[in-house]
Structure 1
Amino acid sequence: MTIQEFPDHESLSQYTAEHIAAIINQKPDALLCLASGDTPIETYHRFVALVKDERVDVSRCTFVGLDEWVGFGPEDAGSCSYYVFRDLFTPLNLRPNQIYVFDAKADDLDAECARIDTLIDSHGGLDLLLVGMGMNGHIALNEPGTPFTLGCHVSELAESTKTVGQKYFTQETPLTKGITLGLRHLTEAHDVILLVSGAKKAPTLRDALKGPVTEQVPASIIQNRPNVQVWIDKAAGSLLT
């Protein structure tokens, strides 16, 4: 694990966008998994600008969805994939065969997990995994108590995740389960970026980076992972010494 602090969200986002471009320029057929959520939106806008400026070519890349609310899909405003399509996949004009997201409306969710596991494993792991961190320390929808060794799986959402998840919807929406990449994929990815921004994440970030490595704080897994780069803005890092 390495930690790098940036003065603000804008500089963090620009640096991350350029790093994604550099990985693709080094490996044009890279397999990438990029999270949804508020923190990476500006990164995606800046990455799209790099593509449009022809500083990077994404035509041979494959993109994997990180997670999804069970019962929702890309066509549902508020879903995880809705935002990734809006901010990244659609502006990049990706072909359908470049995109693999969970079908969280499928009758057989275990088969969906196996499909994405097989895709990632067949590539020898992700070339880049970009994730954020939830207020309870979750990464993707790996909630506190999730074994570090799991691959893709269906998760029972923590109450705090159900509450925070409401901000993505225009009206109160029942959220009960998620389908998600597991922390095994983080340990096996070639390059992992944990993006954390804002003062409200500072206490959880301190616990994840300075506290014990425990499944009760999923993000703490990164402490002994040399493939993880933790990129934060000054506000998020305010409680680190």
Structure 2
Amino acid sequence: MKLTAVKNYASMSNEAASLIIQVMRENEGGLFCFAGGDTPVGTLEELVKAHKNKVINLHKFHFIELDEWVGLGEDDEGSCIQYLNRYLFQPAEIPQKNYHIFDAKSKDLEKECQRADDYIKENGGLTLSLLGVGVNGHLGFNEPGVNFDQPAHIVELQGNTKEVGQKYFDGSYEIDRGITLGISQLFASKYLLLLANGETKRQAVEQLMKSEQANNQWPVTIVKEHSNSYAFIDNNLLH
């Protein structure tokens, strides 16, 4: 794992976007997985800026949604896809045929998992995954105790994930489950990028930094095991 200590959020976003652009230049047509939520917003904005300045053409790539709250969709405030739409797909005018999202309102969620698995296989696996980390160390909705060998799956969300999630919903939703790509799929990415900033992520970062091997009680520790992983972490969390 290559660690980059960053001085602030803007620096983290710039550093991550620069690396992603470099990877895109070397992997035209590749499949990219980007997390929704607050942490990657700055990175996505930098990618869109690069696209509009013709530094990179985002239309030449495929994308897949990392995870989603079960019961939420594109029209629901706080959904993961709303973040991707607002900060990536819409401003860069990326055609719908270029990306895959979960239908987390589907009556057949297992089929949604299979659709995601198939999309990854059809596109030759993930080129790069851009991840945030949960307060409890989760990646996507791969919660503590997860089976590292699982592909896409449905998750019963743990208490602190649901509690933190409420900031997205203004208390208007009661979310108990998530749907997510599995650790095995993320770990098979050619490149794995982790972003971490904010005091709430301190314990997860401490677990990552002190880990000597992957521990499924802190899923984030798998990042250290990846042969081509990069962690962009707020310098304040490393002291």
- Normalised-by-shorter TM-score class: over 0.9
Post-superposition shift, 1:228?
1.5
Post-superposition shift, 1:12?
1.2
| In structure 2, distance between residues paired with 1:133 and 1:166 | 16
| In structure 2, distance between residues paired with 1:63 and 1:12 | 21
Check the 8 A contact 2:131/2:193 in 1, yes or no.
yes
Check the 8 A contact 1:117/1:151 in 2, yes or no.
yes
| In structure 1, distance between residues paired with 2:217 and 2:5 | 25
SS in 2 for 1:12: helix
| Partner residue, 2:90 | 90
Give the counterpart letter for 2:223 in structure 1: I
> Which consecutive residues of structure 2, in runs of 5 or more, have no partner in the other structure?
none
1:78-100 residue CA offsets vs partner (Å, 9 max, x unmatched): 11111111111111101110110
| Partner residue, 1:162 | 162
| Partner residue, 2:193 | 193
Q: Please state if 1:133 is matched with 2:133.
A: yes
| Partner residue, 1:10 | 10
Percent identical: 36
Post-superposition shift, 1:227?
2.2
Check the 8 A contact 2:32/2:62 in 1, yes or no.
yes
Please show how residues 146-161 of structure 1 align to structure 2 within 5 Å: 146-161=146-161
SS in 2 for 1:235: helix
Post-superposition shift, 1:206?
0.8
Q: Please state if 1:68 is matched with 2:68.
A: yes
Q: Please state if 1:223 is matched with 2:224.
A: yes
Give the counterpart letter for 1:231 in structure 2: F
| In structure 1, distance between residues paired with 2:125 and 2:51 | 24
| In structure 2, distance between residues paired with 1:187 and 1:39 | 20
| Partner residue, 2:205 | 205
| Partner residue, 2:171 | 171
Give the counterpart letter for 2:218 in structure 1: V
Aligned Cα root-mean-square deviation (Å) = 1.2
Post-superposition shift, 1:191?
0.5
Q: Which moved more, 1:177-186 or 1:4-13?
A: 4-13
Post-superposition shift, 1:121?
1.9
Post-superposition shift, 1:123?
2.5
Check the 8 A contact 2:67/2:102 in 1, yes or no.
yes
| In structure 2, distance between residues paired with 1:58 and 1:227 | 22
Post-superposition shift, 1:178?
0.3
SS in 2 for 1:3: strand
Post-superposition shift, 1:171?
3.2
Please show how residues 8-87 of structure 1 align to structure 2 within 5 Å: 8-87=8-87
1:173-208 residue CA offsets vs partner (Å, 9 max, x unmatched): 100100000000122110110111123212221112
Please show how residues 88-127 of structure 1 align to structure 2 within 5 Å: 88-127=88-127
Check the 8 A contact 2:32/2:126 in 1, yes or no.
yes
1:127-175 residue CA offsets vs partner (Å, 9 max, x unmatched): 0100010000000000011111111000000010111001011333100
Aligned residues: 238
SS in 2 for 1:59: helix
| In structure 1, distance between residues paired with 2:210 and 2:186 | 19
Per the normalisation by structure 2, the TM-score is: 0.96
1:97-124 residue CA offsets vs partner (Å, 9 max, x unmatched): 0110001011111111011111112223
Check the 8 A contact 2:74/2:81 in 1, yes or no.
yes
SS in 2 for 1:48: helix
Check the 8 A contact 2:151/2:182 in 1, yes or no.
yes
Post-superposition shift, 1:216?
0.9
| In structure 2, distance between residues paired with 1:42 and 1:222 | 21
| In structure 2, distance between residues paired with 1:178 and 1:12 | 27
Check the 8 A contact 2:192/2:223 in 1, yes or no.
no
